[in-house]
Amino acid sequence: MNTIRPLVLTLALVLAGTAEARELRLAAPAAGDLSPTQLVSSPASAEKASRLEAAPVQFSWVLPADQTLSAPLPHRADSREFWTRVSAQELSAGKTLTTSAKGALIRLSPIGQAKGAADPLQVEITAGGQTFARGDGLKNSANEAELKAAGTSFPSGTLAFQLKDEVGQGDITLRLPKAANDYLVHVFEPNSAEVLSLQTDRITAVHGGEFKVLARFNAGDTAQAIGGFLSSPTGEQVELSFEREGDDYVAKVRHDGLIGEGEGLWEIHTFASANGIQRDAKTAIVSSVPRARFAGTADHAKTRNGSLRLRVDVSVAAASRFEVRGILFGRDGKAVRAGAMASSAAILKPGQQSLDLVFDAETLAKSGLSAPYSVRDLTLVDQGSLAVQESRAAGIEL
């Protein structure tokens, strides 16, 4: 039996739709890329897995020629506020708060079951040797009902008010003679120049990887005290330890994304004091538990029908539906610009797998681009958890 002829025919059929197929390597991870060092073999929750689409999909679309692409930056929180817990006994006797500007906004929220609403006429303020009784130090106030009418949601019995400019700034003693509850006191100073800024060095924290939390008081003032914690979606906390680096205070975190539910938004809380002023700041970071990553290789082919295909190799540790997306760059005259985007998703089992990014002939023609091409901002997503598994800004040259 002649086995050569069937083999030749099979190869001919496979290659009939493509030309110029060749193996490529992805650019090495850069500083801003998300690149996992270890994979987790435990799958996403069964509930999430049950909602996954089974059918593979591929699509591409044209980007406007004048569209400006820029990488998203981590959110920076600028705080002019702080919180402090005050007992009923302290508040009845008088609690001293230090402010740095006129017109501070103060909110008193009962801790636990409210034993009665605080009356603004009971609020007594002492500042600069002068006492403002029966609410005379308040510019305006709002009780629980008025706060709800304004579309806000606070615990029952909450009272909010703004101090008059005559109260001034500095040490201010707040007294509620008939306080029946312990209170969480929130002080917000909209007119203050004392600002605690907080942000992370990346948007996504990958399990097993490191990220930084950066805090700064004003233009680099020295903090008298600084601390904080990282909180998972299920409430587990990781303490943050800050060290001075230039104008910033930096906490380096080796991320354990398996605490609690793992994926999702983790909150970062930081509290600090400088120049005698207290500030609390809060931001968030996305947590990713990587179950797949780029294998580092790909192959590229121009099909007979004029489409451009990039087959991206993926190492998979746990089965899920994974998506790869990327942006096609090419020549437009003498300039290089983005012209199209493609996405591909499919269920992948553990092992060495691949996903195809296909820029169809019509999209390619409408993009106005010509070779040489590159696919940048390559991103791998686990659709089971909606978590980015890996991202490479430089992508791959075709």
Residue 4, pLDDT score: 41
Give φ, ψ of 276 to 5 degrees: 80, 5
Would you tell me how many other CB atoms lie within 10 Å of the CB of residue 193? 11
pLDDT digits (tens, 9 = 90+) for 94-106: 999 999 999 999 9
| pLDDT(299) > 90 | yes
Higher-confidence residue: 324 or 302? 324
Q: Spell out the domain ranges in the chain.
A: 19-72+291-397, 81-188, 194-288
pLDDT in tens, 360-369: 999 999 999 9
User: Is pLDDT of 51 > 80?
Assistant: no
pLDDT at 6: 45
Domains 19-72+291-397 and 81-188 alike in fold: no
Q: pTM of the full predicted structure?
A: 0.85
Between CA 160 and CA 184 the distance in angstroms is 12
Q: What pLDDT score was predicted for residue 245? A: 95
**Whole-angstrom Cα Rg for the chain:** 29
Q: How many residues does the chain have?
A: 398
Specify the CATH number of the domain 81-188. Answer: 2.60.120.1370
> Average pLDDT of 246-251?
96
In the numeric block, the tokens 């079951």 are attached to 113
Q: Is the pLDDT of residue 12 over 60?
A: no
Two structure tokens written together for 248: 């910033």
The predicted-structure confidence for 338-361, as pLDDT tens digits, reads as follows 999 999 999 999 999 999 999 999
Architecture of domain 19-72+291-397: Sandwich (2.60)
- Per-residue pLDDT, 21: 59
pLDDT tens digits, 167-187:
999 999 999 998 889 999 999
Contact 192, 276 (CB under 8 A): no
Tokens of 213: 């939390």
Find out whether 242 and 215 touch, Cβ atoms under 8 Å: yes
Evaluate the CA torsion angle 288, 292, 298, 304 in order and state its sign. negative
Helix boundaries (H) for 29-68 = 46-50
Confidence of residue 43 (pLDDT cuts 50, 70, 90): confident
CATH of domain 194-288: 2.60.40.1930
Is the pLDDT at 45 greater than 80, yes or no?
Answer: no
State pLDDT tens for residues 200-239.
999 999 999 999 999 999 878 899 999 999 999 888 999 9
Provide the pLDDT for residue 146.
87
Instruction: Name the helix (H) or strand (E) containing 5.
Output: helix 4-15
Mean pLDDT along residues 56-62: 96
Q: In 3D, which of 235, 228, 229, 238 has the Cα closest to residue 207?
A: 238
pLDDT tens string 63-92? 999 888 888 899 999 999 999 999 999 999
CB 212 within 8 A of CB 252: yes
d(CA 370, CA 336): 9
Q: List helix spans (H) across 127-191.
A: 144-149
pLDDT at 49: 63
Does residue 188 carry a pLDDT above 50? yes
